[in-house]
Amino acid sequence: MEKLDRFVLKWYSCNEDSHETINVWIHNLVSLKPSYVHIELDFPKLENLYFLSCLFNCSTIVSLTLRRILQEAADINPIVVNLPFLKNLELSCLYMNDEFIQKRILGCPILEKLCIENCFLTVTEKISSSSLKTLRIVNNEFSEDARLQISFPGLVELESDIQLGRISFENLESLECASVTPKGMSNDYQGMVLKGLANAKSIKLFSFYINYMFKKESSDLPVFERLESLDLAYFTINKDLEPLASFLKHTPNLKSLTLRHVSMEKHRVFPQREINEIQCDSLKTVEIVCWNHDDQRAHALVKYLHLHLRNIENVTINVPMIMIPLFSP
């Protein structure tokens, strides 16, 4: 019998025979030795899903996607998970506890990409993997006592929204790119998140409170030695820009800075006397993204950056579909 390369099942309605039909299909599927499997179900209540035990012990699967299997974790938790060749795992709209996640990680020794999206998590233990390279964990809900501790020393790419301090990072020594959005997090906890990202080369931060975290007295914040590209979006700059200047002092090798839809006091001309020249010698390019190219606050910010960043070569105001060069050497 020939090997099956790809199998996709999307089933959005059911009758009395649907559960058994699906079980038979998946049981037969495993015998075909599939490489890529995508299963998406939308049943009010799924019962007797023994097909999941078969699926999680299919030694040929390279990529597995499970969506909308809205069951309690105990109901879809096979006793053993053995996916020795699985590299890509996408889980969406699932209920997941510690046992569920730990078995997936431990049973996938060469897992490289993990996506957890729109799930409900009750996890409290640390998860770790030496093989994982890419992690996307977004739009999830957590139980009241849930805490997801992430330790992936080989992780290269990270995308996460961090709700109410439910997620923490450690041992991300290989991190290259990170995109992080806080949701309901305290200022102090956002500072802890930044420490976990200190090894990244490229960081996108959405709605972070840098005015609080990078005050003059904030001496315990990390130095981002490897950081080359920084994108700050949807945050507020105070009238003297000291926090932004402080942030840049923590990025000695930064080459590119993007300030995206930054809130500033209207028509504020930033004072030149309050901040000396910002020591960020490697920074050459700054892009300011705003809604209107006539925004006087954006132009004032350009002037300020030009005055205080000694080696800056190019500052640009970017409006959607419009690019306006302000100056170049």
Question: Helix, strand, or coil here: 194?
Answer: helix
pLDDT tens string 170-196: 889 999 999 998 876 666 777 778 888
- Tokens 């000291």 correspond to 242
Look over the chain and give the mean of its residue pLDDT values, rounded to a whole number.
79
Q: How far apart are CA 153 and CA 144, in angstroms?
A: 28
- Cβ–Cβ contacts within 10 Å for residue 320, how many? 8
Q: Kindly indicate the confidence band of residue 99, based on its pLDDT and cuts at 50, 70 and 90.
A: confident
Q: How far apart are CA 221 and CA 207, in angstroms?
A: 18
HEC string for 196-237 = HCCCCCEEEEECCCHHHHCCCCCCCCCCCCCCCEEEEECCEC
- Going from the C-alpha of 88 to that of each of 9, 91, 171, 211, the distances in angstroms are 17, 10, 21, 38
Q: Which two tokens stand for residue 285?
A: 């390019």
Give the torsion through C-alpha atoms of 110, 94, 122, 44, to 10 deg. Answer: -160
Query: Which pLDDT score is estimated for 80?
Result: 76
Q: How far apart are CA 188 and CA 198, in angstroms?
A: 16
Using the predicted structure, report yes or no on whether residue 329 has a pLDDT greater than 50: no
Q: How far apart are CA 312 and CA 287, in angstroms?
A: 11
- Given a contact cutoff of 8 angstroms between Cβ atoms, the answer to whether 14 and 47 are in contact is no
String of DSSP letters for 78-131:
-S----TT--EEEEES-EE-HHHHHHHHHT-TT--EEEEES-EE---SEEE-SS
Give the list of residues 6+ apart from residue 217 with CB closer than 8 angstroms, or none.
Answer: none
- Given a contact cutoff of 8 angstroms between Cβ atoms, the answer to whether 105 and 127 are in contact is yes
pLDDT tens string 66-90: 887 655 544 455 667 889 999 999 9
Query: Which pLDDT score is estimated for 105?
Result: 81
Q: Look up the pTM and report it.
A: 0.84
What's the half-sphere exposure (Cβ side, CA atoms, 13 Å) at 90? 11
What is the average pLDDT across 98-109? 83
pLDDT tens string 124-135: 888 889 999 999
Query: Which pLDDT score is estimated for 217?
Result: 52
Query: Which pLDDT score is estimated for 48?
Result: 56
